[in-house]
Amino acid sequence: MHKEGMVFDKIPMRFPIAHFYRTLRLNDHPDLMQEFDSLLDEAVALAQPKAVYRPILIQSKGPGYIMVEGDKLSSAVLSSSLVTSDQLYLVAGTCGTELEGWAAQIIDPLKQYWVHKILGLALERAMRYLRQTVKSQYQTSHLSVIEPGANSNWPIEGQKLLFQLLGDLPDQIGLSLLPGHIMKPIKSVSGIMFQTSQPINRCRLCDSPTCTDRTRPFDPALFL
């Protein structure tokens, strides 16, 4: 179903090599730098991260839920945080099918790990571009994102309704929802962006005990 929204399929992409040298500890292994540089050159030539968003208004709120377009979204953090605005932004971003197709051909375990980080940065840059664009267009201050499956408060099954509300926008960036509520490309994210009085690091909204990319501890106070 067609839904009005914005599609960003030409997001500027720059891979800071110093960042990778540092995070992958390649500075300690100069013998591996040339291999990584060659791999990164391939990624740079192919990278086309993409994102979409759709603005939407809240119809009503209740304890632990909000109503949008006749559908109920159960999320304590949304219902408690949206005290000054009834505006939401349904969002989705992906590293792009181009990078995922390339990554699937990498069979060396070490290079697969490097590729995982490269795709992750492409996705991060897509979502950063999306956030900056929404802030500029709507003159908002701080924006936070909550994702289905990021915590037990909004389980992964919430992906189905989110994709329904996004309509055909994900299709326009090559993003699809597979059985089991898994997105393809795998390095993709979908969720709800909303305005907050102060920045909320997304890790503070995630109660997963197994996340390897956590930068902040989970904050249960956000769900009160």
Q: Give me the mean pLDDT over the 150-179 stretch.
A: 88
Q: How confident is the model at residue 81 (pLDDT cuts 50, 70, 90)?
A: low
Q: What is the pLDDT of residue 214?
A: 64
Task: Identify the weakest region by mean pLDDT among 18-27, 115-124, 168-177, 213-222.
Answer: 213-222
Give domain status of residue 220, yes or no.
no
Task: Output 213 or 60, whichever has higher pLDDT.
Answer: 60
Reported pTM: 0.85
Give domain status of residue 56, yes or no.
yes
Give domain status of residue 58, yes or no.
yes
Using CA atoms, how far apart are residues 212 and 73, in angstroms rounded to an integer?
A: 28
Q: Give me the mean pLDDT over the 212-221 stretch.
A: 64
Number of domains present in the structure of the chain? 1
Give domain status of residue 57, yes or no.
yes
Q: What is the pLDDT of residue 94?
A: 97
Please give the residue range of the domain that contains residue 201: 16-206
Give domain status of residue 217, yes or no.
no
The CATH number assigned to the domain holding 165 equals: 3.40.109.40
Give domain status of residue 139, yes or no.
yes
Task: Output 158 or 95, whichever has higher pLDDT.
Answer: 95
Q: What is the pLDDT of residue 142?
A: 78
Q: What is the pLDDT of residue 15?
A: 87
pLDDT > 70: what percent of the chain?
81
Beta bridge partners of 124: none
Task: Identify the weakest region by mean pLDDT among 48-52, 115-119, 120-124, 143-147.
Answer: 143-147
Give domain status of residue 123, yes or no.
yes
Give domain status of residue 197, yes or no.
yes
Q: What is the pLDDT of residue 206?
A: 63
